[in-house]
Each structure stands twice: as C-alpha cells, then as structure tokens.
Structure 1
Amino acid sequence: MRLILLRHGRTTWNAERRFQGQADPPLDEVGRAQAYEVAALIAALRPDVLVSSDAQRAAQTAAPVAEVAGLSVRLDPRLRERSLGHWEGLTRDEVAERFPSEFADWVGGRDVSRRGGETREQVAERALAAFAELPDVATAVLVTHSATAMALCNALLSMPQQVHVLGPLANCHWSELLAEHNDHSGPVWRLRAHNIGAPGAVAPLPVRLDGFSEDAPDADA
C-alpha cells in the first residue's frame, strides 16, 4: 500500500497563527484555491480510496480531490486535529501571555496535556484505528491535520511520539509512505516523501536568532 497523508488548506485562523484544534473554521479564499490546485496532483497518484477528517477545513479540501479523482469521500472524526483544550481559538501570543508555563513546555517540544487537550499518544491511537479500517488497496489518501498526520506517521514508522522528527506539514502538503512486505513481522512502513505540494513558495515559520522556530515540533493545530 501507498499512503498519502494530506493536510487541509489554509484557514483564516492559520493565517492569524491561531490554535484550531477541534474548532471548526472553514477554508479561507487562499485555502480553497490551494485545495483545487492540489486536487490534480493527488488525483495523478491514482488513489483508490479517500477518507477525510469531518472538520470543515479537511472535508472542503477533500471535495475537489474526490471530484477530480472520481471518488467518494468518507468522513471519519478519528482523523480530526489534536484537541487543544483551552488553547483553541487563541493566538500564539495570547497563549504565551495567559499560560506561560504551558507555552514554554510546548515551545520546548514537550507534550502539554494539562491544557485539557489530547496527548500525542491519544491522537496516534485514534488515527491508527481509522487507518486500520482502510480497505486493502494500492493507494489510500487520508485528508487530515498537521499534528494528526505527524502522530500517525510516527506510529507507522515506529518512532516515539515524544519528538516529531519530520516537523509539521504546510497547508495542502502531504507525506507519502510505502508499505514493504516482511514475511516475518508483517509490513514495514517507509517514508518516501514529506511536505510535498504544488510548486511555489511556502511561507516558512519565523525563526529566532538562536536558530529555533517559534513553534514546537507539533505546531499546527
């Protein structure tokens, strides 16, 4: 199997660097254009099945993919973004001001469950459950969210959830994984590509003078 993990297009909240989590803002004008642009690229991979998070921003991204690829979309709430508790709806600056110790943990790459949201392990568990129900096909596309895609990637690649080595996906970019058969222990997953999208510039995350991004490894949301 080839697995494509596609992140949704941009929302106004993304542009404002506002934590989304399981809040449900729609795609903005840029995000809608991104979804139509990426649809042909994903369709060219000849997917056999298309499953999307039931969040508006993901379903709206999946719709043009389905149209171009000639597929139907199945919505699955287990592919939603990581729940962020009381951070949802706040900007980075607002979280830093209201919850400085939590924000410091997040910037340091540490899991922050005390904000009332999910742990990375919990996100990986539900995403794996959705993945396990995919039919036996050559190519499957999951339209999801940055932190959820990273958690599922880590799980399939047998990497710990404490550190997201691959980093967050840009809007309407994807990771591609391939399963290689192993007679002794079942399929072994390999990462073939990461952060692939339509040609063109992608706005990078701001970088501090010490060389670190302003965002933690599981940034989005």
Structure 2
Amino acid sequence: MTTRLIVWRHGNTDWNAGHRVQGQTDVPLNELGRQQAVDAAELLARMRPDALVASDLCRAADTAAALAALTGLSVTYDRRLRERYFGLWEGLTMTEITQTRPEEYARWTAGADDIGGEVETLDDLGKRVAEALQAAADLVEPGGTVVVATHGAAVRSGVGHLLGWPREQLRTLRALQNCHWVELTHDAQRGWQIATYNVGPFTDRPTPPPV
C-alpha cells in the first residue's frame, strides 16, 4: 500500500514580505499568511489526512491549526521540523547580508554545506528534518496520509535527504511558495518518491526566500 506524506510550508510573515531571514526566530503569520493557511487547508482537507504534525515555531504551528480546525485532527509538534538555524544572519535582510557578510553569502549562493556565521550546515538540517518526516510517516498505517507543516529551507533539505539526493541535485529545486507543499509517496517496493512539488493556492504570487 502507498503512504502519502504532504510536506507543507507555512504561510506568509512580515519577515517573508520584507526578505528578512527568519531561521528559528519565532515570527508570527501576518494577515496574508493566516488567509493563505485557511485557503490551503481547504485543499489539503480533501486529501483526508490521518495525522497532522508541525514545527513548534508559531508560523508553522498556526498554519497547521487551520487544517486541524477543518479536520478535527490534533497537531503533534516536533522541534526537529524547525527552520534551518541561520545564526548571525537571523533578523537581517538579504541586502544587509550581501553588504556585511559577503563571503558567507557567496558560499550560501554556491550551495556550500558550511557557510559560517553560526549557520546550521545543510547536512545537519537535512538529517534532522528527514528524521522528523520519517517519524511523521510512521504515525499512520500503510496507505495513510500525513501532513507536516514546516519551513522553506527545512522542506528542501529534509525532502532531499529522505530521497537520498546529493546536494547538487537538491539545488535544482526552486524554493516553495508560502503555503505550498510537496507530496511524497512511499511503498515497500519503491521506497520514497516525489509525486508533486510546489502545489497549492496563490500560484501567481512571487516566491519569497525560503528562510
């Protein structure tokens, strides 16, 4: 039987809108983000999820709450689903980072694992998020559906690690839009496979940075 795992990015925040690095800073959803969560939840509820898991940061937890309200599911929180820790970058705009930390920014844009500035490595990020995604999938019986609400960089690295992709292949994935998701499937013969990517409402909106 095929298990379905929906990995869902949280709704918009004021820091997303201002291209400011959030990382593990606990920034709340803004009005747009709350509406995005409601609209996306209406689509996800049609998939009849059996379990709902979220990062404990409020922008992801409140996004998950919109789906919980429609489905009656309780939310399980997992700290491993938190966004990449961006260290000394958190709270800065991308323009400020290019001006004040140009060497680190160059390593980041080149896809380096360790960029400095106390930023979590991609390898550590991928491992912890993939562990949380697998744990979420294990909550349901084979053939079930679980939805996981998390963060942009966490989605890409966690999904890539779960699929066994090298970092070079991971860089081919564009950043998820707010309140969009990745659908993964798993069965005993084929293991994990990616079914859809960057699906959701508001497809005509620009994509904020996944931080």
Q: TM-score, normalised by structure 1?
A: 0.87
Q: Is the 8 A contact 1:22 1:81 kept in 2?
A: yes
Q: Deviations over 1:65-116 (max 9, x none)?
A: 0110110001111100000010000000000111011111212222344110
The equivalent position to 1:59 in structure 2, one of 58, 61, 85, is: 61
Superposition RMSD in Å: 1.5
Residue 140 of structure 2 is matched in structure 1 by 136
Single out whichever of 51-60 and 129-138 deviates more from structure 2: 129-138
1:5-154 matched pairs, under 5 angstroms: 5-134=7-136, 135-137=139-141, 138-154=144-160
Taking CA–CA contacts closer than 8 Å with sequence separation of 6 or more, which of the two structures ends up with the larger relative contact order?
2
Which runs of no fewer than 5 residues in structure 1 stay unpaired? 206-218
Kindly state the Cα deviation for residue 126 of structure 1 after the two structures are TM-superposed: 1.2
CA distance in 2, matches of 1:196, 1:112: 30
Residue 167 of structure 1 is matched in structure 2 by 174
1:156 aligns with 2:162: yes
Kindly state the Cα deviation for residue 199 of structure 1 after the two structures are TM-superposed: 5.0
Q: Is the 8 A contact 2:104 2:115 kept in 1?
A: no
CA distance in 2, matches of 1:203, 1:131: 27
Kindly state the Cα deviation for residue 124 of structure 1 after the two structures are TM-superposed: 1.4
Which runs of no fewer than 5 residues in structure 2 stay unpaired? none
Q: Is the 8 A contact 2:176 2:207 kept in 1?
A: no
Distance 1:18 1:199, change over 3 A: closer
CA distance in 2, matches of 1:49, 1:141: 6
Determine helix, strand or coil for the equivalent of 1:143: strand
- Equivalenced residues, count: 204
* Residue identity opposite 2:64 in structure 1: A
| Identity percentage of aligned residues | 42
The runs of at least 4 consecutive aligned structure 1 residues that moved more than 4 Å come to none
